[in-house]
Amino acid sequence: MPNHTSDRHPWFRAALAAPPGSAARRRYVFRPVDEDHPDRPPNDWRSAFGGSAWRRVPSPDGGPDEWYLHLFSPEQPDLNWDDPQVPAEYGAIIRWWLDRGVDGLRIDMAHALFKHPDLVDAGPGQHTEFRRNHLMPFFDQAPLHALYRQWRTMVDAAPGNGR
């Protein structure tokens, strides 16, 4: 699933061990804590499984560190597709499967890969009013089109695809 990894994934473990602003953290969607309102998440986004889509991680001294985004469960932190390492890694995964002759790939939650760059509030109807999904700032963002074209090109160029 390209939207997120497990919280046990080596990338996320490295992100938690790294300081804010590090390359390891940039592979995920982290945001700083508002010192005046440390319990207030960066926006109103809701998890598809209920509750806030943000979880705060403690700093090594136990104080507030940063929030990370999880559109699903806290054990599934969202990747940051604006970081070049993320699409490069997923491209390598797709190529690995294509090199082994798969006939196709199912890519769940691909419409959630890019988030609105300003992380604007989503308002009511998150994950419940499906006719409004395209209006959510965490679904169907413009950079998806170029990414889908890249993936299509990879599949078309795969040996044995019949084209």
Burial class, 44, CB count within 10 angstroms (exposed 0-12 / middle 13-18 / buried 19+): middle
Interatomic CA distance for residues 18 and 28, integer angstroms: 12
SS3 label, residue 29: coil
User: Do 76 and 69 form a contact (C-beta atoms < 8 A)?
Assistant: no
pLDDT of residue 129: 78
* Predicted local confidence at residue 161, as pLDDT: 65
Residue 76 has pLDDT above 60, yes or no: yes
Q: Is a pLDDT exceeding 90 seen at residue 94?
A: yes
Q: From residue 137, give the alpha-carbon distance in Å to each of 118, 119, 128.
A: 9, 7, 15
**Whole-number percent of the chain with pLDDT over 90:** 74
Residues 6+ apart with CB under 8 A from 78: 3, 4, 28, 29, 68, 69, 70, 71, 112, 115
If pLDDT is split at 50, 70 and 90, which confidence band does 65 have? confident
pLDDT tier, 154 (very low <50, low <70, confident <90, very high otherwise): very high
| Residue 162 pLDDT | 53
pTM more than 0.85: yes
Output the CA torsion sign for 6, 7, 10, 16. positive
pLDDT tops 80 at residue 28: yes
